[in-house]
Amino acid sequence: MKVSQALTLLPNVQERTSNKAIDKALQNTNESFGDLLNKTIGDVNSLQSEAGKAMERMVSGESSDLHEVMIAVEKARTSFDLLMEIRNKTMDMYREVMRMSV
């Protein structure tokens, strides 16, 4: 396949992907922001506890697979970082709304 042919297919792939993402987002509109936030915090908490258990198994000698421990720790760290960014952006939006004059 020539590069020019591949480039002509790219917009179609992007369009299909973005439409699927929009459809999926619209289906989840029944869930409130608070419910979504609670679910996300629960997911982050479970990833943190899984990482802790993986480290405990590694230290106690039950597991010798360092890769699984590192993957669990990185998943927990990444999800926590994302949650903190969501918190920071939410606080920024709140402050911006409070600065608006009515």
Distance CA 102, CA 100 (A): 6
Q: Which domain holds residue 17?
A: 1-30
Tell me what the mean pLDDT of segment 38-57 comes to: 94
Distance CA 49, CA 42 (A): 11
Distance CA 82, CA 44 (A): 9
Residues 13, 23 share a domain: yes
Residues 5, 48 share a domain: no
Please state whether the predicted TM-score (pTM) of the whole model is above 0.75: no
The whole-number pLDDT of residue 37 equals: 86
The whole-number pLDDT of residue 65 equals: 87
Count how many domains the chain has: 2
Residues 65, 41 share a domain: yes
